Structures are given as C-alpha cells and as structure tokens.
C-alpha cells in the first residue's frame, strides 16, 4: 500500500448550527409569559462628540497651532444604538440551536483512502470517549450565558431557559441561573450534565436535537443592550460610523447577535492549550486564535495546532493526548475547510 | 438544441415558509441578489441523495417562491455587503477580509415528484408521513449555503398526488397558489432575449446587449414638440420585475476522466471546467400562474454542446393558455 497522503480537498460542515439571537424587552416578573414581548429596535442617533484620539506626532500635523484647531472642533457622528425601553428592565435573547449528526464525516474529501482512515480514526475516538466530554462543555456555555457577551456583564440577574423541541412542541426543558456558573472553570452540575447528554446524543446521531434558548437578562430600565456590530468596508465620508445588526421580520427590525458570534461563544471550550491556566477557555480554532487578544495560542511551532495533531493522528498513527484528541474532534464539529494545497 | 419540456410528474410536494439564514447572495460573476435556480436544483439533488436510493421516487423539478428577503448590505444608493471577520492567521496577525454576500430568505418550495409504482398508490396518510420525513431531511441541508431555521409557520408540508383530470388539476393548483401568497415566484423569461443567431448570421452581440440592458437602469432624455426635455428611465411600470439570472453552466473543456484533475472534490466523478450561462428571470405573484408547470424549474444536460442548465416552462405555456392546459407535459 502506498503511503497515506493528505487530501487536497477536505471540508467539514458545522455540527452545531445556531440561529441569530433576537432581542426582546419586558419585565423580569413577566418572563414566564414572554411570547408577546416587544422586540428591541435599533435606532440611529447623532452625537456631538469630542476629538479624543491620540494625535499624530509626525509630519505636517505636528504643528501645535493646527492641532489646537482640530481638537477644538466638535466631532459629529451618527451611530446606531439599542436600548431597553424605559418601562422594561429585562432583555430577552432568543435563538435556536440545531445539533447535527455525522461528526467527522467530511462533506468533501478527494482521497478515498484518507477518508476511510479518517472515519476509522474518529470511530475509534467515539468508541473510547463518546461525545460526552465535548457536549458537556457546550452545555455549560449555554447554561452560563456566555453567548450573551457584553450583555451578561453587569447584569443583576441572568436566567437561561432551554427547551428541546420536537415537531413544534417542547418535550423537555431546563432552567439555569447563569451568574451562578463561572465563565472560567466550565464547571457543571447535574442539570448541565443532562443537557450535555442530550447534545451528545444529537452529535452521535441517535436522536434529532433542536434546542430553543431564551436568556433573560435583568439589567435595568432603559439600559443599553449590545447587538452585533456590522463590519462595513470603505465607509464614505458622512456615513454612519457604527451600524448594528438587525433582522427584519415583517415590518419589525429586531436587534440581534450574529449567529457566528453565538457559535463562537458556544465552542469556547478549549482549556487544553498552553497557557489555559492563566487565560481561561478560548474558542475552538485550528490555531487557537483569539481575535480580541490578537493572539494565536496554538502556533504550529508548538506542535499543538489542529493540523499537526490531525496529521499525527491520521497519517502517522501517533495518538495525541486525550485532551488534544478532544480538541481535534471539537475542531471537526466547528467545521471548516482543512485541505492541503501542494 | 431540442426544446425542453418538464418530464412527467405525478405528485407535488409543498414545503411552506422555510427561513434561511445567511444564504449566498452572489449568484454569479455578474449579478448579486437572490440565489439562482441552480442553487435549488442542487438542493433537490442533495435532498434526493440524502433520502437514500431505497425510496421509490424521483425529484424532477422545483418551484421557488420568495416571501421575504433581507440582503445583508449597507448603504442607500451604493450597496456594500456587510462582511465578516475571519479568524486570525496562525501567527496572530489579522487575516484578509474576503468579500462575501449574504442574504436572509423566507421561501416556499414546491417539488415536482415522480413517484414509483409502490408510492403512486399510497394513501394520503402515507404521503403525509413521507412529506414529514422529507422536510426533516431538508432541515439538515443547506440552501445556497445558508442554514435552515426552525420555522414559526403553522403550515405543514403537503404531498399530494396529481389528479388525472385537467379540471381537478386546476383546482388543486388554485388551492396551492393560495398557500404560496403573498410572495413572488421565480420564472424564466428567456423569451425576452432576442433569438439566438443562426449559423451564418453575424454575432450574438445583440443578445448580450439586451441582457446588459436588463441589468441596469438607463436614463435618457425625451424631447416633446415644444422642445421640453424630460427624463425617462428604461424600465417603465407594467413591464414586470425582470432580473438577470444565471441559469446554468456551459462547458469550456472536454469531460476529464475521474481523478485526472488535481484538487477536485472527489476522485470518482468526471470533471469539466464551465462558465456561467445567463438568461433573464421574472418575479411574479403566484396568482398569475395557471399551471404547476409554469412554476417548476428542472435541470437538463446536453452532452454534445456541454450545456448544463435549468429550464422553466413559463414562457412556453404562457402564450397559449388555457388551450395547452389539457396537454400532458
């Protein structure tokens, strides 16, 4: 048999498929009857700001006279903003999560022998560990409300309601006090374990899993809430300098968090990288990158990145440590294009 | 090329109100907006494969009805795509931003099915069961790259035999139409382009010009008898919602044997390089349709010319309705 080679086309679909998370507002006491809560609008506001950025100290603009003129001028800008209305103290963040089966099965792979070896490898992992450990960690990130991002910071109370839906009806449900669970340690309890077991079944394909998640964040009347911001290139002069994401449903324009951002929070389970003790869990990424920190924690030279681990495992039959096996499988659940060009 | 007609079908499957998130909005090299018909015939093929070969049915055509869309763009006159940031490079530096277009859709799909012998005699209860199974499978697939969201629609998928008699078929279609509204169905309007140049005639420049005219809005001055000039644009009211549409692919190379071209998706399928084919489409409210054949898109392929394209019989049946209604497709 010839030596096994990497496939030049290798792609995996994501197996945790979240929807956009939509924002609604209401009263904390009425959170059990929240179906009719009004949505949170994104509005535009114009502000008269100051010029407060660090000035250039080189070139023609270092002339102090010119600088004086500039910083005395007001800085006019138009931005988007979303807030709770003044008669509501609670933000409801609502999304669905679909768990798809077929972990490790590539959606495209152009080497038949590589494909069968890969499937065999992943089958070995599944028989040894199952998806329990990963699923429990995903469940923790649902329960601790990490997907709320900045909305979780400074909240008085956060309650997460999760329900499994089948044929348009809830079949079982959970309720979590998110602030009681730490973001750093990914600790779990009996409730979280039960939710994790369900997600594991979904990943293994023994059951179709669809979760509805409603998070209630009590943050105070009229407080600002934080939907995703849009990335827009080539802004012209006078264009809005901050655009927030909203989903149109009928005539409603509902403030929302991008599904990608929800997905990133849910897969923030990597505590197996060098430096995890100080930094806490990071999102599963092939190179362990954290955009907000501008850092890659799994650089190829440390031999702890996804590609090195996968190649060792599949091509060279040298099994990584248990933790790194979890990481490789979690990367496959995340999905992506992992082919190797010549 | 021989004219195409929709192959025989004997059942219609209506999948109501699918909500699709982040579908690909760049349908071809020259147009953006709604995904083209190839995205949906591709979905049909993927669905058929996923259902498995043991299921005794054939999926022939797909009707595309859009109820609502939200293109992920920004700007009022010049539209820019809202982009997404990629993960950092392996050394922690910022990765390049790749432009991609995304759109949220709310769609209804109508599949034309050819049921095999065992299924063609099935009871309505069995068909309902099958419809639910197909919908569940569909929910695990992607539509033009976008994820399907669990819907809020109270409507159930419906799978119905096509009745024998013309009158009953019309009744059935009339009922189906009601479920598809309000919305717009995507139909082919190949007839709006000038006829292709015959061998011996000069070129096809005219066709390209006609197509380009539909891709843009031309403003031109019109002077009346007093010499007063007013500006008009090239699309007056009542001409319909005509859009440029990539409808398929034309071969650029011969068909290569499987595995002979590097970096293909798999090693078992023959490969050929293609370019997009363009035509025109129209968004039309379903109440203007009289027959399911006007709705359905179906793929065809011509080995001799290397043309892989999608067809829709709207313009063939439109001119002669209702006389053609009695004729079998």
In chain A, residues with a C-beta closer than 8 Å to the C-beta of B90 are 287, 289, 296, 299-300, 305
Cβ separation B80–A234 shorter than 8 A: yes
Count of alpha carbons within 13 Å of B68, Cβ hemisphere only? 14
- Which residues on A lie below 8 Å from B75 (Cβ)? 239
Closest residue on chain B to A205 (Cα): B140
CA atoms of A256 and A240, how far apart (whole Å): 18
Give the span between the Cα atoms of B196 and A114, in whole angstroms. Answer: 48
Instruction: Please name the member of A286, A291, A296 whose beta carbon is closest to the beta carbon of B85.
Output: A291
Q: Which chain A residue lies closest to B81 (C-alpha atoms)? A: A232
What is the per-residue pLDDT for A245? 94
Q: What angle do CA A28, A29, A31 make, to 5 degrees?
A: 65
Decide if B262 and A8 are in contact by the 8 Å CB cutoff. Answer: yes
Of A165, A210, A294, Cβ closest to residue B88: A294
Inter-chain touch B84–A260, beta carbons under 8 Å: yes
pLDDT score for A222: 92
DSSP string, A38-94: PBPBPEEEEEEE---SPPP-SGGGG-HHHHHHHHHS-EEEEEEE-B--TT--EEEEE
Give CB contacts under 8 A, 24+ apart, made by A117-120: A117/A4, A117/A314, A117/A315, A118/A314
Q: Considering CB atoms only, which of A101, A259, A289 is closest to B22?
A: A259
| Residues in B touching A210 (Cβ below 8 Å) | 150
- Whether A19 and B139 lie within 8 Å, measured CB to CB: no
Q: Which residues of chain B have pLDDT under 70?
A: 1-3, 151-153, 197, 199-204, 317-329
Interface predicted TM-score (ipTM): 0.87
Question: Would you call B262 and A342 a contact, using CB atoms and an 8 Å cutoff?
Answer: yes
Query: What is the spatial distance between Cα B57 and Cα A296, in angstroms, rounded to a whole number?
Result: 50
**8 Å CB contact between B124 and B37:** no
Before B182, cis peptide (omega within 30)? yes
Query: Are B176 and B63 spatial neighbours (Cβ–Cβ below 8 Å)?
Result: no
B263: left (phi over 0), alpha (psi -120 to 50) or beta: left
Locate the chain B residue with the closest alpha carbon to A165: B150
Q: Which residue of A has its CA nearest to B148?
A: A19
Tokens 């189906």 belong to residue? B176
* CA A174-B138-A136 angle, 5° bins: 30
Instruction: Pick from B19, B76, B84, B92 the residue to mutate for testing the A interface (most A CBs within 10 Å).
Output: B92
Cα separation, B54 vs B234, in Å, equals: 53
What are the residues whose beta carbons fall under 8 Å from the beta carbon of B242, sequence distance 6 or more?
A: B189, B192, B214, B235, B280, B281, B282
Q: What does the block give as tokens for B185?
A: 């169905």
- For residue A341, which residues of chain B lie inside 8 Å, CB to CB? 263
Residue A73: its pLDDT value, please?
A: 81
Across the interface, of A9, A245, A294, the residue whose CB is closest to B265 is: A9
Backbone angles phi, psi at A126, to 5 degrees: -65, -40
Nearest by CB: A247 against B70, B74, B262: B70
Give chain A's residues under pLDDT 70. Answer: 1-2, 57-69, 237-238, 341-342
Most A CBs within 10 Å: which of B95, B262, B266, as the mutation test of the A interface?
B266
In terms of DSSP H, where are the helices of chain B? 37-51, 117-120, 124-139, 166-180, 205-215, 314-318
Distance (Å, rounded) from C-alpha A18 to C-alpha A138?
A: 12
Longest pairwise C-alpha distance within chain A: 77
- Give me the DSSP letters along B126-194: HHHHHHHHHHHHHHTSEETTEEEEPP---PPPEEEEPPSSHHHHHHHHHHHHHHH-SSEEEEE-GGGSP
Choose the closest CB to A299 out of B84, B90, B97: B90
Tell me if B89 and A208 make a contact (CB, 8 A cut-off).
no
Residue A163: count of CB within 10 angstroms of its CB = 17
Cis peptide before B322 (omega within 30 of 0): yes
First-to-last alpha carbon distance for chain A, in angstroms, is 21
- Residue contact B90–A100, C-beta within 8 A: no
Chain A CA closest to residue B91: A296
Choose among A270, A2, A273: nearest CA to A111. Answer: A2
Q: Do A341 and B91 touch (CB under 8 A)?
A: no
CA distance A258 to A245: 7
What does each C-alpha distance from B77 to B73, B74, B80 come to in angstroms?
11, 9, 10
Give the residue from B155, B59, B60 showing the smallest Cα distance to B106: B155
Pairwise CB contact (< 8 Å): B83 & A248: no
CA distance B70 to chain A (A): 7
Q: How many Cα neighbours within 13 Å face the side chain of A49? A: 12
Q: Residue B83 and residue A17: Cβ atoms within 8 Å?
A: no
**Within a 10 A sphere around the Cβ of A254, how many other Cβ atoms?**
22
CB B241 within 8 A of CB B284: yes
Helices and strands in chain A: count of H runs, count of E runs: 8, 15
């Amino acid at each position: 048999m010839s030596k096994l080679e990497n496939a030049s086309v290798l792609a995996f679909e994501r197996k945790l498929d979240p929807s956009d998370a939509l924002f609604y507002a209401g009263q904390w006491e009425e959170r059990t009857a929240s179906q009719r809560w009004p949505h949170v609008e994104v509005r535009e506001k114009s502000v008269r700001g100051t010029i407060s950025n660090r000035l250039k100290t080189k070139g023609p603009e270092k002339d102090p006279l010119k600088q004086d003129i500039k910083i005395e001028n007001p800085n006019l800008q138009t931005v988007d903003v979303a807030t709770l209305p003044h008669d509501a103290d609670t933000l409801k963040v609502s999304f669905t999560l679909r768990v798809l089966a077929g972990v490790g099965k590539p959606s495209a792979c152009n080497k038949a022998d590589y494909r069968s070896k890969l499937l065999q490898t992943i089958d070995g992992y599944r028989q040894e560990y199952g998806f329990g450990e990963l699923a429990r960690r995903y469940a923790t990130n649902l329960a601790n409300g990490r997907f709320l991002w900045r909305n979780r910071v400074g909240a008085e109370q956060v309650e997460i309601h999760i329900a499994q839906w089948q044929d348009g009806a809830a079949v079982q449900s959970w309720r979590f006090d998110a602030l009681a669970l730490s973001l750093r340690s990914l600790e779990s309890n009996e409730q979280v374990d039960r939710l994790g077991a369900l997600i594991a079944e979904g990943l293994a394909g023994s059951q179709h899993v669809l979760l509805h998640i409603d998070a209630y964040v009590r943050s105070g009347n009229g407080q600002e809430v934080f939907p995703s911001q849009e990335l827009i290139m080539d802004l012209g002069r006078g264009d809005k300098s901050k655009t927030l994401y909203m989903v149109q449903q009928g005539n409603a324009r509902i403030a929302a968090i991008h599904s990608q951002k929800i997905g990133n929070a849910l897969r923030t389970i990597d505590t197996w990288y060098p430096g995890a003790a100080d930094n806490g869990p990071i999102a599963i990424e092939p190179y362990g990158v954290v955009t907000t920190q501008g850092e890659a924690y799994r650089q190829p030279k440390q031999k702890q990145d996804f590609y090195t681990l996968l190649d060792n495992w599949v091509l060279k039959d040298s099994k990584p440590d248990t933790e790194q096996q979890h990481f490789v499988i979690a990367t496959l659940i995340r999905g992506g294009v992992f082919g190797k060009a010549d | 090329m021989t004219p195409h007609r929709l192959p025989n079908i004997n059942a219609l499957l209506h999948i109501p109100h699918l909500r699709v998130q982040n579908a690909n909005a760049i349908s071809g090299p020259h147009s953006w907006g709604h995904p083209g018909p190839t995205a949906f015939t591709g979905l049909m093929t993927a669905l058929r494969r996923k259902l498995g070969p043991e299921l005794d049915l054939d999926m022939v055509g797909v009707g595309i009805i859009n109820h609502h869309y939200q293109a992920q763009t920004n700007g009022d006159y010049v539209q820019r795509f809202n982009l997404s940031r990629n993960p950092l490079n392996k050394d922690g530096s910022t990765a390049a931003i790749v432009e991609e277009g995304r759109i949220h859709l709310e769609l209804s799909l109508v599949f034309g099915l050819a049921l095999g012998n065992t299924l063609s005699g099935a009871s309505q209860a069995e068909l309902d069961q099958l419809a639910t199974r197909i919908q569940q499978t569909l929910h695990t697939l992607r539509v033009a790259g976008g994820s399907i969201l669990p819907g809020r629609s109270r409507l159930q998928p419906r799978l119905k035999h096509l009745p024998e008699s013309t009158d009953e078929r019309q009744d059935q279609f009339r009922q189906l139409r009601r479920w598809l509204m309000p919305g717009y169905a995507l139909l082919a309007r190949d007839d709006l382009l000038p006829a292709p140049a015959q061998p011996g005639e000069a070129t096809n420049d005219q066709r390209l010009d006609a197509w380009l005219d539909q891709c843009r809005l031309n403003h031109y001055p019109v002077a009346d008898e007093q010499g007063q000039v007013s500006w008009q644009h090239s699309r007056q009211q009542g001409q319909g919602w005509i859009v440029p549409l990539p409808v398929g692919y034309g071969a650029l190379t011969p068909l290569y044997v499987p595995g002979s071209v590097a970096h293909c998706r798999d090693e078992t399928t023959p490969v050929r390089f293609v370019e997009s084919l363009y035509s025109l489409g129209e968004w039309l409210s379903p109440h203007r349709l009289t027959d399911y054949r006007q709705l359905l898109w179906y793929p065809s392929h011509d080995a001799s010319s290397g043309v892989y394209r999608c067809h829709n019989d709207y313009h063939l049946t439109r001119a002669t309705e209702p006389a053609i209604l009695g004729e079998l497709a």
